[in-house]
Structure 1
Amino acid sequence: MRSKPTTGTDVPPANGRLPGNQSGPVDLRLANPAQVSPTGLLKPGWGLWQAGAGLVLVLALPLGATLALSTMLPFGPELVFVSLCFTWLVLLGSSLAASRAWGFGSLAKDFGLRFKWIDLAIGLGVGIAARLVLALVQVVITLLWPLEEGEVLQGNAELFLTGDDGWIFVNAVLGGALIAPFLEELFNRGLVLRAVQNAWWVKGSARGRVSAATERRSLTTATVVAILVSSLAFGLLHTGAVGDLRSSVYLLVGTFTVGVICGILTVWTGRLGPAIMTHIVFNGSAIGLLLMLPPELLT
């Protein structure tokens, strides 16, 4: 009788060789640690269709709710807050549903939602570096695609800076700089990235929440594809916040770049802590700079 695969966070054998693997040692540093057990690889039951359904809901539900409420509420901090709440609900709900219904039942095991004290230092350093890298990328884009006279770029951070100080604290500081980075990383670098990586890398051998799995492609290739796809999805989720083509391109390039950086941190460390802290520093620095600008420059 086939033994039931374990669902713990067992570490792989010291030599990197999985039982039954005759082709040589397997480098599993980029895999989700919870999927590696002494008896072989494991694969959660959640995958591309759960991640795809989550992406559709993240796009459709907040937009539909905002359009419906815009007939009753004028544009302002209240409407921004409602839209954010619907977005957060889908990000968290999709991740929880996938984990509990088809996975290990733990956000730490399924998506690497773990933290270490070193993540604070990593996030601070990489977050500031990411802001500098993005500034350089945007300079290059501007040189290749010069701004027209009088043309002004729009961003999405300004949407949070409406209303009085109380609303700015709720929407920008709590929402944009703390809650959004946490939930966006959980969904994009947790559910989406790992779903794409697993779909390319392994195949399950049985139905159920978690099954034994075997490799079918290179883990390194699967990881690169997963980082790129999840970063593109992350970027596309943000482009609807601006209305003109140039601003959308800048925002897409910027969010894609940050997504790649956070994706690399996630697969390299095996947890979401560094990516979440990097995202917090990245968003917080943008909001902090905007708050220091005179109000007339934001209108």
Structure 2
Amino acid sequence: MRSKPTTGTAVPPADVRSPRNPSGPVDRRFANPAQLGPTGLLKPGWGLWQAGAGLVLVLALPLGATLALSAVLPFGPELVFVSLCFTWLVLLGASLLASRVWGFGSLAQDFGLRFKSIDLVIGLGVGIAARLVLALVQVLITLLWPLGEGEVLQGNAGLFLTGDTGWIFVNAVLGGALIAPFLEELFNRGLVLRAVQNGWWVRGSARGKVSAATERRSLTTATVVAILVSSLAFGLLHTGAVGDLRSSVYLLVGTFTVGVICGILTVWTGRLGPAIVTHVVFNGSAIGLLLILPPELLT
């Protein structure tokens, strides 16, 4: 069951009409519940340019900071931690800024940052299933594009496992398995996915904060486009962690697949809880497997 809007207003009545289909109700199954006002649709002021600016910063700021610090710090757990901190700062900062300045002022209302107890069950099952699906996808890729003699695959999870036990706990367990999934879902399936969906689906009546909106295209089409675009952006953000083309392709396919799964969960439930738990299980299983299997077997 979809959660109720948290805007303090009632769900719009069933006879709210679509400008594109005056004879029928607005299709709102995949909408952010907070955007369903008592008399019609609502649109937050944040959108594609805020999401785009955030994506550029997520790529540029951590990379620039890491390159600058690499002149004084050797590659190791300290440099990995600093790079992670810059990434997390942008992910959280962009989401908070968009919500506070151009939206409802609530991460729950703007991006669906809500949890239910059932999300633990959903996330555990889907996270394990996603790991198995990805393994099958990578087997198919390998059959179609066989590895050359002596060629191995590089993954990005191994970056978290540098240093002693303390650093592995900080970078891998706290960072890779807990903090990163939370903030990446908030940004990618919260800000980016909803920005693309809103940009395709509705037109706001004013700039700035939340305003009344009218439907411009199909919500279903907008949702499919949003899931695909946000998943591609999510994948591209991870490919810079490896240096060769084949590993980049594998990593892109893997993260894109997980992004699609988490995107479907987000729009289906109307909240980020299931996607966050799924991401935690997915990343945690990779880190756990890296402790017992060769890194080149995993992404």
Given the superposition, is the C-alpha separation of residues 139 and 205 from structure 1 closer, same or farther in structure 2, using an over 3 Å criterion? same
Query: Percent of aligned positions with the same letter in both sequences?
Result: 91
Long gaps (5+) in structure 1: none
Residue in 1 that maps onto 2:60: 60
Q: TM-score, normalization: structure 2?
A: 0.94
CA contact 1:18–1:39 (8 Å) conserved in 2: no
CA contact 2:77–2:160 (8 Å) conserved in 1: yes
CA contact 1:5–1:212 (8 Å) conserved in 2: no
Q: Deviations over 1:240-283 (max 9, x none)?
A: 00000000000000000000000000000000000000000000
CA contact 2:3–2:270 (8 Å) conserved in 1: no
CA contact 2:113–2:273 (8 Å) conserved in 1: yes
Q: CA deviation at 1:12?
A: 2.8
Q: CA deviation at 1:37?
A: 1.2
CA contact 1:8–1:37 (8 Å) conserved in 2: no
Q: CA deviation at 1:296?
A: 12
Given the superposition, is the C-alpha separation of residues 9 and 64 from structure 1 closer, same or farther in structure 2, using an over 3 Å criterion? farther
CA contact 1:18–1:38 (8 Å) conserved in 2: no
Q: CA deviation at 1:162?
A: 0.3
- State the secondary structure of the residue aligned to 1:292: coil
Given the superposition, is the C-alpha separation of residues 262 and 295 from structure 1 closer, same or farther in structure 2, using an over 3 Å criterion? closer
Q: CA deviation at 1:38?
A: 1.6
Corresponding residue pairs, total: 299
Q: Deviations over 1:183-206 (max 9, x none)?
A: 000000000000000000000012
Let me know the Cα RMSD of the aligned residues. Answer: 4.1
Long gaps (5+) in structure 2: none
Output the CA distance in 2 between the equivalents of 1:4 and 1:164.
46
Q: TM-score, normalization: structure 1?
A: 0.94
Output the CA distance in 2 between the equivalents of 1:257 and 1:38.
36
CA contact 2:48–2:199 (8 Å) conserved in 1: yes
Given the superposition, is the C-alpha separation of residues 46 and 164 from structure 1 closer, same or farther in structure 2, using an over 3 Å criterion? same
Q: CA deviation at 1:295?
A: 9.6
Q: Deviations over 1:49-87 (max 9, x none)?
A: 000000000000000000000000000000000000000
Output the CA distance in 1 between the equivalents of 2:37 and 2:284.
38
Given the superposition, is the C-alpha separation of residues 58 and 216 from structure 1 closer, same or farther in structure 2, using an over 3 Å criterion? same
Q: Deviations over 1:145-180 (max 9, x none)?
A: 000011000000000000000000000000000000
Q: CA deviation at 1:291?
A: 1.6
Given the superposition, is the C-alpha separation of residues 152 and 35 from structure 1 closer, same or farther in structure 2, using an over 3 Å criterion? same
CA contact 2:6–2:34 (8 Å) conserved in 1: no
Given the superposition, is the C-alpha separation of residues 38 and 169 from structure 1 closer, same or farther in structure 2, using an over 3 Å criterion? same
CA contact 1:9–1:35 (8 Å) conserved in 2: no
